[in-house]
Amino acid sequence: MRKLATTTLLALSLTFAGCTQVENTLSTWAISAERSLANLQLKQVVVGDFTTPYLEGGQGETVFLIHGFQSNKDIWIRFARQLTKHYHVIAIDLPAHGDSNILMDKNYSIPEQAKRVIAIMDKLNLTQPVHVMGHSMGGAIAFHVAVMAPNHVKSLALMSSAGVISPQPSELSKLNQQGKNPLIVRNEDDYKKMLAFTMSDPPYIPSPVIAKLTREAIAREAIATKIYQEINLKYSLNPEEALPKIKVPTFVLWGDEDKLLNVSCTEVFKRFIPQAQVVIFKGVGHAPQIERTKESAQAYETFLATVKS
């Protein structure tokens, strides 16, 4: 059935490519189908000035997923599908990301977003410590949550995480020094380049979904530029002081071909969080949960099995 649905969507994609309304409809259908397969339901919560949509499903201990810059809750769908069989999964849209409302007058530094995540956890009545995983910018937010509200975190997982300076400069940092930023999308060509820069081995994504994501990324140029400026490390906790405060079981997952955040970051996290378990995938870029979905989920579940109840 899934193969038939995918084939049908591909045929429709080729037939109606370029028609915005049809592309949006097909994209919405495709994402809804993926959510259903992952046993995830769309919900939302209002915290402060932000309406935060989130995906929730499964039963068991809670795994709380935080996406990265220019991303949203749906980046976790296929990864979460592997987890909802044994865990209660929540994947949020960070404020000013995904389908959350955008407020240009707010501050989106890592500590401020961490405070909002803590408020979201409280609003969702997560009274027991949860397993927190963050990807990229979301990783930095996740370890800030672990430091700022340790009673909320049972274990910490950092996937291609921002928040530290890598011993070996990344390609992104080199481009930034030249005044270039491949993560800011201004046109269709920028989006294609951004995908190629981000992932070494991307999966098939239906063209209507790509078209819709491209339009959304272009529309986000102003807020994306603002957020990128405000997630600067100078506005965050000093990792040399903050990371050693993390005492919970910690898992670090990376791709050895990550162009955004060099894999040598793992050395920094291991140095300051000695209990951290580190897994590095070969031939993988910045998004292991998309490029190696099953392997990433299996590695994470193996880690979770070591965390005492």
Apex CA 156: angle with CA 152 and CA 160, to 5°? Answer: 135
H/E/C letters for each residue in the chain?
CHHHHHHHHHHHHHHHCCCHHHHHHHHHHHHHHHHHHCCCEEEEEEECCEEEEEEEECCCCEEEEECCCCCCHHHHHHHHHHHCCCCEEEEECCCCCCCCCCCCCCCCCHHHHHHHHHHHHHHCCCCCCEEEEEECHHHHHHHHHHHHCHHHEEEEEEECCCCCCCCCCCHHHHHHHCCCCCCCCCCHHHHHHHHHHHCCCCCCCCHHHHHHHHHHHHHCHHHHHHHHHHCCHHHCCCHHHHHHHCCCCEEEEEECCCCCCCCCHHHHHHHHCCCCEEEEECCCCCCHHHHCHHHHHHHHHHHHCCCCC
Apex CA 10: angle with CA 7 and CA 15, to 5°? Answer: 130
Q: Which tokens in the block code for residue 146?
A: 């672990």
Task: Tell me the C-alpha distance between 192 and 257, whole Å.
Answer: 18
Task: Tell me the C-alpha distance between 306 and 301, whole Å.
Answer: 9
**Among 144, 92, 160, which residue's Cα sits nearest to residue 121?**
92
Q: Which residues are catalytic?
A: 67, 136
Q: Which residue bears the tokens 């979301």?
A: 138
